[in-house]
Amino acid sequence: MLVTIKKVKELYDMVRITLITWENEGLITSVRTPKGRKMAV
């Protein structure tokens, strides 16, 4: 299931930088849609 980074941020009441850090550390995975939107996997 793909969810926008914004939606993850809202669901878990987190700041965006935390999600970016986790992505950089390999704790979460994201992909870009053809339109360039970042989605969490």
Residue-level pLDDT at 5: 87
Q: Is the dihedral of CA 7, 9, 10, 12 positive or negative?
A: positive
Structural domain span for residue 10: 3-40
CB 5 within 8 A of CB 39: yes
Number of domains in the chain: 1
- Give me the sheet containing 30-32, strands edge to edge: 3-4, 38-40, 30-32
Residue-level pLDDT at 2: 87
SS3 20: helix
Reported as a pLDDT band with limits 50, 70 and 90, residue 10 is very high
pLDDT in tens, 16-36: 999 999 999 999 999 999 999
Flag whether the pTM goes above 0.85.
no
